[in-house]
Amino acid sequence: MYNAYFGFRENPFNLSPDPAFLYRSPHHEEALANLIYGVQSRKGFIVLTGEVGTGKTTMLECLRDFLEAQGIEFAFIFNSRITPDQFFEMVAYDLDLRCTRTSKTDVLFALNQLLIQQANQGRTTVLIVDEAHNLDADVLEEIRLLGNLENPRIGKLMQIILSGQPELDYKLDSPGLRQLKQRVVLRCGLEPLTPAETKEYILSRLAKAGLEEQTVFPDSLLDEVHVRSQGIPRLINALCDNLLLTVFATEGREATLPMLDEICKDMRLDWPGHRPRAGRNFADTLESTLKQPS
Ligand SMILES: Nc1ncnc2c1ncn2[C@@H]1O[C@H](COP(=O)(O)OP(=O)(O)O)[C@@H](O)[C@H]1O
Ligand SMILES: [Mg+2]
């Protein structure tokens, strides 16, 4: 909407996880390196965790690009509220297995053939499951069994990446899943961005969208965006997108603190040290009431 006004080639703060806009924070860099290393060295199970909006799906999309470039077969399951039957159907669909996709036995047979055929050509096969914290125990058990497929000469035939919110770690800690937990050989975690990274992140997105020398966000406002977003990329995007929209709507040139205040209020955003107005009034009233001598 505001692209032409600011001279952007495309929207800098799009909410879709687009590898073209990748900002390589040390955590993101390390996570991606781990995912690629895990796949290449046939490590078996890899777990990626991070809070909502920290960039997990973006990392998986980058991995997808890598796998496509390398010609490595993969299945990408992004809907994790599924039954075991649906799981096998999705795997068969993604890997284009020639079988009755609704029969688990058929899928397993065709999958095994594909894995061996790929392994014979020196290639591995990858299963990526996003939002894996939502997976039911019975689907996780099927995934564990797939991870067992092994060739003594080559190693694991299928590399499995489970990505999800920190609840995934707790889930794997449950007694029923300890067999799966023991098989996880690589773990990586994404953390929110630091204040300096938040700035770099915003500037890198603006530059990639076509604005190398930005003057819309004053430095002090970038600090404030960090505080309010807590360094979570999805929130940074939402705040910056709304700021640009407000500047455009008011035909201004620069984003300001009052604009950010208004946006945070509309988004009902809360951050450490911030007390919503209604809450503060109530708390203050309560505090002063309690302090009053009776
Ligand atoms: N390293 C990064 N570089 C560029 N954009 C990122 C990065 N990490 C997250 N984002 C952006 O933040 C938003 C949320 O990222 P996403 O990968 O969907 O998070 P998650 O899957 O952890 O909830 C998306 O708009 C994505 O483009
Ligand atoms: Mg995600």
Q: Which pLDDT does position 189 carry in this prediction?
A: 95
Q: Which pLDDT does position 151 carry in this prediction?
A: 83
Rounded distance between C-alpha atoms, residue 121 and residue 151, angstroms: 14
Ligand 1 pocket: which of 234, 236, 240 to mutate (most atoms <8 Å of CB)? Answer: 234
Q: Is 192 in the pocket of ligand 1 (CB under 6 A)?
A: no
Q: Is 145 in the pocket of ligand 1 (CB under 6 A)?
A: no
Ligand 1 pocket: which of 16, 18, 58 to mutate (most atoms <8 Å of CB)? Answer: 58
Contact 88, 229 (CB under 8 A): no
Note if the pTM is more than 0.85. Answer: yes
Spacing, Cα 179 to ligand 1 middle (Å) = 31
Distance spanning both ends of the chain, measured CA to CA: 59
Q: Output the six-digit token pair for 225.
A: 């965006």
Which amino acid, 203?
Answer: L
Residue 46 DSSP SS3: strand
What is the average pLDDT score of the chain?
A: 92
Rounded distance between C-alpha atoms, residue 216 and residue 222, angstroms: 10
Rounded distance between C-alpha atoms, residue 143 and residue 129, angstroms: 10
Pairing mode of beta strands 155-156, 150-151: antiparallel
Rounded distance between C-alpha atoms, residue 239 and residue 222, angstroms: 10
Low-confidence ranges of the chain (pLDDT < 50): 279-282, 285-286, 294
Spacing, Cα 81 to ligand 2 middle (Å) = 14
The distance from CA 87 to its chain's CA centroid, rounded to whole angstroms, is: 21
Walk me through the domains of the chain, giving residue ranges and CATH numbers. Answer: 25-190 (3.40.50.300), 193-267 (1.10.8)
Q: Is 18 in the pocket of ligand 1 (CB under 6 A)?
A: yes
For the stretch 159-214, pLDDT in tens is 999 999 999 999 998 888 989 999 998 999 999 999 999 999 999 999 999 999 99
Q: Which pLDDT does position 277 carry in this prediction?
A: 61
Q: Which pLDDT does position 39 carry in this prediction?
A: 95
Per the listing, tokens 């061996």 go with 116
Per the listing, tokens 């709507």 go with 249
What atom of ligand 1 comes closest to residue 18's alpha carbon? 27
CA 61 to each of CA 78, 111, 125, 268: distance values in angstroms, whole numbers, following the listed order: 11, 23, 16, 30
Q: Which pLDDT does position 278 carry in this prediction?
A: 55
Spacing, Cα 58 to ligand 1 middle (Å) = 5
Q: Is 55 in the pocket of ligand 1 (CB under 6 A)?
A: yes
Q: Is 27 in the pocket of ligand 1 (CB under 6 A)?
A: no
CA angle (237, 239, 244) in 5-degree steps: 90
What atom of ligand 1 comes closest to residue 165's alpha carbon? 22
